[in-house]
Amino acid sequence: MTPDGLLALGLLGMAAPAVPGIAVKTKSLLTGRRGPPVFQLYADLAKLVRKGRVYSRTTTLVFRAGPVVALASLILAALFLPLDGREAPARFAGDMVAFAGLLALGRFALVLAAMDTGSSFEGLGASREVTIASFAEPTLFLCFMALVLAAGDLSLSGILGTPLAAAWPHAGASLSLVGVSLFVLLLAENSRVPVDDPATHLELTMIHEVIVLDHGGPDLALILYGSALKLTLFGVLVVSVLVPRAGFSGPAALALLFAGLGAVAVAVGVVESVMARVRLVRVPQLLVGAAALALVATILQLR
Partner 1 sequence: MRDAAQIVLLLVVLSDLAILGTSRLSSCIRGLAAQGFLLGLLPVLIAPQLSVHAVSLALGTVIVKAVALPWFLAWAIREAAVRREIEPIVGFIASQLLGAVAVALAFAIASRLPLPGTPQPLLVPVSLATLIIGFIVLTTRRKALVQVAGYLILENGIYLFGLTQTESVPFLIELGVLLDIFVGVFIMGIVVFHINREFDSLDSTRLTELSD
Give the footprint of partner 1 on this chain (CB under 8 A). Answer: 172-173, 177, 282, 284-285, 288-289, 291-293, 295-296, 299-300, 302-303
Q: ∠ CA(127), CA(196), CA(212), 5° rounding?
A: 55
Tell whether the torsion through CA atoms of 195, 196, 198 and 200 is positive or negative.
positive
Q: Which is nearer to partner 1, 155 or 301 (CB)?
A: 301
Q: What is the residue type of 130?
A: V
Q: Are the C-beta atoms of 218 and 68 separated by less than 8 Å?
A: no
Q: How far is the CB of 303 from partner 1 (least distance, A)?
A: 6
CB 41 within 8 A of CB 21: yes
Nearer to partner 1, 216 or 284 (CB): 284
- Buried b or exposed e, range 191-229, using 16+ CB within 10 angstroms: bbbbbbbbeeeeeeebbbbbbbbbbebbbbbbbbbbbbb
Nearer to partner 1, 165 or 292 (CB): 292
Shortest CB 252 distance to partner 1, Å: 27
DSSP 62-111: HHHHHHHHHHHHHHHHHTTS-TTSS--SS--TTHHHHHHHHHHHHHHHHH
Question: Considering the complex, what minimum distance in angstroms separates the CB of residue 260 from partner 1?
Answer: 22
Cβ proximity to partner 1: between 118 and 289 the closer is: 289
> What is d(CA 50, CA 280) in angstroms, rounded to the nearest whole number?
37
Query: Least distance in Å: CB of 244 to partner 1?
Result: 18
Nearer to partner 1, 267 or 296 (CB): 296
Residue 195 CB, shortest distance to partner 1, in Å, is: 15
Q: For residues 180 and 246, which CB has a smaller minimum distance to partner 1 in the complex?
A: 180
Contact 130, 140 (CB under 8 A): no
Closest approach of Cβ 172 to partner 1, in Å?
Answer: 7
